[in-house]
Amino acid sequence: MVTNAGGFNPAGLAAALRDGSSVITKHSGDDGAVTVDTVTAQLVYEIQGPRYLNPDVTVHLDDVRLTADGPDRVRVDWVTGSPPPPTTKVAIFGQIGYRQVNTVYVTAPEIPAKVALLRRQLERVTPEGVHLRLTTLGTAATDPETQWDATAAVRILVTAADREALTRLGLARLLGSLYLQSYPGYFTDVAGTQRVKPGPRIEYWPGLLELDAVAHRVVLNARVLRAFLSTEEVRRLVPADRAGPNGCRTDAGHVAPDRFGASPEHMTSTITETSTKTVVRSHPAAIT
């Protein structure tokens, strides 16, 4: 089976094998490189530790083995897991208004005082309902060799509930009018493009929900399958007195056979054959 791999490389492919291992590769005509290093970088991207929490399984990344398997091919073996947490992360994105961002530059000395002057100038002409925020980015060198070494950027953000308020303010025009009436050395990057029109302001709200509250279904050939374990099933699977960093050992097919793409009998025999090993070899049925 070949499916699109996740991450920032939409051309990446993951060939999943029946024993639970996989091969990460790409089309020969696509740019980039699939190496042990690039696959490692994808695996450890934005994780909270060696236990990668998912709504259907907790993956043990410290057991994973990556092996070069030819040009632009990396084999992924020894992937083990334990039951998922009883909650799953959810997020909502929503537009909460409009914003506009531009940047000006200030040169040492007395950068804080110069930024304070700029803030007072902008506050005087900022109408009610428009919120202003100035952020100094970077620090000037103590003994600069060039003007850029002595320069810091000032990010200017204005937000409002409606677009018209920002359009009336005209931030780009306003900043352009300050060249001869603000702090000494005031300038913008004329080689860059100042944002003239306001854009939408998007807010992000993350949170946790009990697995029971997430109605996640998979449709396969007109057959509807339940994708997640319920919160109660997770708690039964990992009793409080046995739960730990490595969870407990069980046959995944007894809990969610549709989830693993093989018959429970096949999963049971495979776990039995490998039960003498400390770490079960990569297999869809392995929950350790």
Tell me whether residue 288 is exposed, middle or buried, using C-beta atoms within 10 angstroms of its C-beta: 0 to 12, 13 to 18, 19 or more.
middle
pLDDT at 156: 96
CA–CA distance, 20 with 260 (Å, rounded to integer): 10
Query: Higher confidence at residue 286 or residue 256?
Result: 256
What average pLDDT score do residues 31-54 get?
A: 87
Tens digit of pLDDT for each residue in 122-140? 999 999 999 999 999 999 9
What is the chain's Cα-based Rg?
28
Amino acid at 78: W
More confident residue, 88 or 273: 88
Give one word for 28, left, alpha or beta, with left for phi > 0 and alpha for psi -120 to 50.
alpha
* Residue in the structure block whose two tokens are 């939409």: 10
What is the identity of the amino acid at 51?
R
**Residue 278's pLDDT is what?**
27
Model-wide pTM > 0.85: no
Question: What number is the average pLDDT over the span 16-20?
Answer: 81
Confidence of residue 275 (pLDDT cuts 50, 70, 90): very low
Phi, psi of 119 (to 5 degrees): -65, -45
